[in-house]
Structure 1
Amino acid sequence: MMEPEKASKIISKALGRGHFADIYLEETETTFIVYDNDRLEKLVCGSDKGAGLRAIYGDYHTAYAYTNSFAPEELMSLAESLARLTGSTQKNITIDEIKKIPFPEVKRPPQEESLAFKIDLVKKANQAARGASPEVAQVQVTYHDLHKKITIVNSEGLYIKGERLYTLLAVQVVTKRGEVIQTGYEPLGGAIGLEIFEKTPPEEIALKAAQRAILMLSAPKAPGGTMPVVLSAEAGGTMIHEAVGHGLEADLAEEGFSVYAGRIGEKVASSLITVIDDPTLMYQRGYYQFDDEGIFPEKTVLIENGVLKDFLYDRLSAMKAGKDSNGHGRRESYRFRPIPRMSNTYIAPGPHSPEEIIRSVDKGLFVKKMGGGQVDTISGNFVFEVTEGYLIEKGLLGEPVRGATISGNGPQILQIIDMVGNDLGFTIGTCGKDGQGVPVSDGQPTLRIPEIVVGGAIDQK
């Protein structure tokens, strides 16, 4: 642990005549396993440590430097480099207290389990997927756990210590029947330990992925055209994250790269739509107790009953806006400066039952699982793949269809959604922005979009 007196001197040197400075110290333990084609393809186990030193100065510019050493003399050398930009001055920075924030109870911390146990998890998933059908052509299982110890000290006198913990298992299955090839994917994870697999065993995750890929082999191609689409809660919040969420990050709004820039207080969505980002959802993949700038976050209502209420701020974007940060400054590691990021972003549940929503559609598409896609974060235009979809005919779920895509404009889609379910489902992922990735989850209830463009696939039979 860095002594408060030494930390104060380093920060004082880096701060100079600037507005703000901080030190971010990080120690990481990780295991990464890839099992592909029935063999152990990749195995990475190790630790890393480093420190990032930042100063905000002048017209809100950022100077940032990092090192993989905790040595005070090394950090002072970095501080002197930053001081060439921030200017030299003497400021007494007092550390009032050291705050230690314990992580919520974890029954089976991954860093305390054997490597053999983790490899066995991966092998069980592989075996289950392989055994699902002779038409399974390829299986890839990925396991990743990450344990971080972090310390943040800043020029406002903050000294805070805490931990981050993530566990992830993901299975991708490729099936083949003649010339038809289909893919199924299923992840499981969160800010939680290996006890997550006691409730949902790796075999169950693998079978979900395999069954999805097998089902789609028999499905006819999806019809194309403009039609009603029902997004199930199980489909997760991919659309809200990609097509809307990034536009609610304060740096993009401030730079004019968001359709929501300058629109606080305006109606930007259907009155049924409330969008929330909540880092405090315990054990969700985007959970944290304080952000990577040492700020305790709160549930942030971004859009309330269709009206734009707020953006996601880090310290820098909040300074520029003359506001306080709402605890969304995140970074991938000590090698990166913090920027505004989503955490657990979701559309709040509404008044309709999922069954009622499906019954309301005479002819359309039911999206049970969303796949990857492309998004223009400035305009909100998107195209997403549907990895599991079904026709809706006369208010009933019909046959599965394959190869569908849905395309539209995120902000416009939010305005026309006319039914919102009373359920809520989450998907997990790693969100990329400015070259760095952070763990997130995205959620939504069942939603009815009365009109959207559905693209049908070219039949490969």
Structure 2
Amino acid sequence: MIKQSIIENVLEAALSKGGDFSEVFIEDKYVNRLELQGGKLEKSISGRDYGIGIRIFSGLQSIYTYTTDFSEEGLLLAAKRAAHAIKSGVNGTIHPLRKELFQPIHQIEQMPQTVEHARKVAVMRKANEIARNYDERIRQVGLRYIDEEQHILIANSEGKFVEDTRVHSRLSIQATASDDIEMQTGFYGPGAHAGFEFIENLDLEHYAGEAARIAITMLGADECPSGKFPVIIDNEFGGVIFHEACGHGLEATSVAKNNSVFANRIGEKVAPDIVTYIDDGTLPNEWGSLNIDDEGEKTRKNVLIENGILKGYLIDKFNARRMNAEATGSSRRESYRFNPTSRMTNTYIAPGTSTPEEIIASTESGLYAKYMGGGSVNPATGDYNFAVSEAYLVKNGKIDRPVRGATLIGNGAKTLQLVDKVGNNLAHGAGMCGSISGSLPVNVGQPMIRISEITVGGTKGE
């Protein structure tokens, strides 16, 4: 991308006013976005984004800037301007850059840029047809396709010099059902750290059919009662509740400033013995996986909670200084425009020993959340509020009628303590996570779990 000699000069210029660490992050990204509405291609956007971020540390002070001027003069000017923001300190040492090689985790068969749009649109049209033909009450189907090829180079004053290519592909399907009185929607959005082969090999009968089935099921659903019930949350995207309510509280972004209910609690019992919570960026071809993080460190499997005991946090290089701890390969950013920080990759509850059938059969009454929707959480307190996109009442150990309008309200740390069943059917779901370093692809996952009591907000009292 840029000559190594120029990178070395930029790193040196960044430390010219007293920093003790400098880093450059170079990005060249290609993006394709397609949207199909009502069977017609409504949007087709392709673009390229190219820029460089420059970061400087001086003790616990961090300076970040970025530029799209790739001339040596422009890069040196950006580095020196950032350096002037450093208020004190002794100039750091620049170590010779050493190129690091690694074995890629992800097998990419078809780079998206080599695939013509017609093949991508053909998959979308097929998914549209499957969803539309599911039921005559499906009135609208919308599809969004995205692929990205991101080429990065990371170098720092400690001698790190590493490059990587990341490829993401995703197809999102939304079906809308109507009986001429009301409308309901269903959604499914599979994604992977993979090429076009992932899109072309998708089981569209399953994904498009599920999006349509959810919409039709909720169209005829009763209003959800409100109260405090046992709640069974199914696998896959059900893991979003603990991603939001607990995962963010285990990131050093919050922990290092004591803005988390999990701060300073390593070694404490924070969940039942049956709960083990993991963030693993090394899972092959998973949506949230990476070969290296955005500081050039290899990703790893980080066990955050093991058999109920808090074991660790997700830590980036800068917050490692604040915490006097080791970075965990968890630093991420949306692009060169963002200062990186600790973020999740593929975060999930490890499988237990109960079968889904056993969990349901042992629940006399409660709520079964098959698919979770969106929600909000306060990372400092862990208080959350999540919508359930497909829910059912459970009566006498059996799944009863579907209900709509259900929301789950609670506190992440407290809810974690109330997990009393963990299934054996672990699955992951793709999503996007927003935080101070931008919007990132992440997986959330879990087997089916049961929480002994959650406040359920509904549209009618029981």
Distance change in 2, residues 1:447/1:51 (3 Å): same
- Letter of the aligned partner of 1:391 in structure 2? L
Which region of structure 1 is more displaced relative to structure 2, 37-46 or 354-363?
A: 37-46
Contact 1:49 1:69 in 2 (8 A): no
Does residue 1:54 correspond to 2:55, yes or no?
Answer: yes
* Higher alpha-carbon deviation: 308-317 or 10-19: 10-19
Q: Is 1:78 paired with 2:78?
A: yes
Answering whether residue 351 of structure 2 is matched by residue 375 of structure 1, we say no
| Worse-matched range after superposition: 336-345 or 49-58 | 49-58
Paired with 1:89 and 1:318, the residues of 2 have a C-alpha distance of 21
The superposition leaves residues 289-320 of structure 1 with CA deviations (integer Å, 9 ceiling, x where unpaired) of 11000011210011111111111111000111
Measure how far apart 1:395 and its partner are.
Answer: 1.1
Equivalent residue letter for 2:224: A
Q: CA deviation at 1:101?
A: 5.6
Name the CA distance, whole Å, in 2 between partners of 1:340 and 1:104: 22
Deviations 1:51-98 (A, max 9, x none): 11110114x121111112332222111111122123785844311335
* Residue of structure 2 in register with 1:187 after alignment: 189
Cα deviation for residue 179 of structure 1 reads 2.3
- Map of 1:430-445 to 2, 5 A cutoff? 430-434=432-436, 436-445=438-447
Structure 2 gap segments, 5+ residues each: none
Matches within 5 A, 1:53-452: 53-58=54-59, 60-86=60-86, 89=91, 91-99=93-101, 102=104, 104-434=106-436, 436-452=438-454
TM-score by structure 2 length? 0.95
Amino acid at match of 1:76: L
* Shift in Å, 1:131: 2.0
Q: Out of 241-250 and 115-124, give the one that drifted further.
A: 115-124
Conservation of the 8 A alpha-carbon contact between 1:124 and 1:203: no
State the Cα deviation string for residues 125-154 of structure 1 (Å, max 9, x = none): 222222222212222111000001110010
CA separation of 1:96 and 1:108: change in aligned 2, threshold 3 A: closer
Deviates more, 1:190-199 or 1:178-187: 190-199
SS of 1:374's equivalent? strand
Question: Could you tell which deviates more after superposition, 246-255 or 36-45?
Answer: 36-45
Task: Tell me, yes or no, if the aligned pair for 1:271 and 1:305 is still in contact at 8 Å.
Answer: yes
Amino acid across the alignment from 2:41:
L
Larger mean Cα displacement after TM superposition, 391-400 or 297-306: 391-400
* Bigger mean CA deviation after superposition, 387-396 or 294-303: 387-396
SS state at 1:237 partner: helix
Distance in 1, Cα, partners of 2:168 & 2:220: 37
Identity among equivalent pairs (%): 40
Secondary structure of the corresponding residue to residue 418 of structure 1: strand
Residues in 2 aligned to 1:334 and 1:429: alpha-carbon distance in whole angstroms: 21
Give the SS at the match of 2:223. coil
Partners of 2:281 and 2:437 in 1: CA distance: 21
What's the RMSD between the two structures over aligned residues?
A: 1.8
Aligned position for 1:18: 19
CA contact (8 A) 1:235 1:367 kept: no
1:101–1:162 contact (8 Å) kept in structure 2: no
Contact persistence 2:105–2:285 (CA under 8 A)? no
Matched residue count:
458
Q: Distance in 2 between matches of 1:221 and 1:68?
A: 53
Give yes or no for contact 2:230–2:453 (8 Å, CA) kept in 1.
Answer: yes
Q: Which amino acid aligns with 1:21?
A: S
The worse-fitting range, judged by mean Cα deviation, of 102-111 and 8-17 is 102-111
Runs (4+) of structure 1 moved beyond 4 Å? Answer: 87-92, 100-103
* Matched residue, 2:45: 44
Give the TM-score normalised by structure 1. Answer: 0.95
The question of whether the paired residues in 2 share the 8 Å contact of 1:101 and 1:161 is answered with: no
1:98 and 1:5 map into 2 onto residues whose CA distance is 17
